[in-house]
């Protein structure tokens, strides 16, 4: 069995004491402190947005909107959770809100996505590195969303289902679908039940 490793998301990393001071200053309106928070967190927020949207330009817009929303909401941040967890939720909600605001639903056949996965350059048996990120981008939106939230960022199926407005069983099915499509593209053996 091949296991892909990812760096632990920021929501699982404890904030250093100096981060709490920066958060407090930013909440009080200190632009330099907020810029510090932006520089610390912008990379992973963009990565999350990119994984959820599959489009660089849209991910950039969602990242910017997430930080604008964070700036506006920071005075009300109650510190019951880590700042990174709060910001993570803002970013996910920003992407999902963009979708609800008039974007056409992703109604594309599974065959098209299988063709897109197969079209990624490189032989899965080649000795070079696999472009897992590119393969993830080609997944159907529902499968990609659940894979990103549950498989990469560690949400439970119940949490992901709540964010995405689907049933937990649908989340489990979408994760299975995403793993099967990725396994097929990457030449990995199918998951055992």
Shared domain check, 79 and 136: no
Shared domain check, 129 and 68: no
Count how many domains the chain has: 2
Q: What is the CATH number of the domain that holds 52?
A: 1.10.1740.10
Shared domain check, 152 and 85: no
Shared domain check, 127 and 68: no
What's the pLDDT at 101?
81
pLDDT 10s digits, 7-51:
444 444 445 555 889 999 999 999 999 999 999 999 999 999 999
Which domain, by its residues, includes 44? 14-100
What's the pLDDT at 119?
54
Q: What is the CATH number of the domain that holds 147?
A: 1.10.10.10
Is residue 85 in some structural domain? Answer: yes
Is residue 58 in some structural domain? Answer: yes
Shared domain check, 130 and 94: no
| Residue ranges, the chain, pLDDT below 50 | 1-14, 104-111, 117, 120, 122-128
Q: At what angle do helices 157-164 and 168-186 cross, to 10 degrees?
A: 100
* pTM, full prediction: 0.69
Which of 100, 122, 145 lies at the terminal end of a domain, its last residue? Answer: 100
Residues in Cβ contact with 81 at an 8 Å cutoff, skipping those fewer than 6 apart: none
Shared domain check, 94 and 46: yes
Q: List the structure tokens of 190.
A: 């199918």
């Amino acid at each position: 069995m091949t296991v892909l490793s990812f760096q632990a998301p920021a929501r699982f990393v404890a904030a250093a004491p100096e981060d709490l001071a920066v958060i407090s200053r930013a909440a009080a309106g200190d632009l330099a402190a907020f810029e510090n928070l932006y520089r610390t967190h912008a990379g992973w927020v963009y990565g999350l947005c990119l994984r959820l949207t599959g489009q660089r330009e849209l991910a950039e817009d969602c990242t910017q909107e997430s930080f604008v929303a964070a700036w506006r909401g920071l005075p009300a941040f109650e510190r019951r959770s880590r700042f990174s967890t709060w910001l993570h939720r803002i970013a996910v909600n920003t992407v999902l809100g963009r979708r609800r605001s008039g974007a056409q639903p992703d109604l594309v056949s599974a065959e098209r996505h299988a063709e897109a996965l197969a079209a990624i350059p490189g032989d899965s048996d080649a000795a070079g590195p696999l472009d897992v990120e590119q393969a993830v981008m080609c997944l159907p939106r529902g499968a990609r969303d659940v894979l990103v939230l549950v498989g990469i960022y560690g949400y439970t199926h119940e949490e992901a289902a709540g964010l995405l407005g689907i049933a937990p069983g649908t989340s489990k099915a979408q994760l299975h679908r995403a793993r099967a499509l990725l396994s097929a593209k990457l030449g990995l053996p199918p998951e055992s039940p």
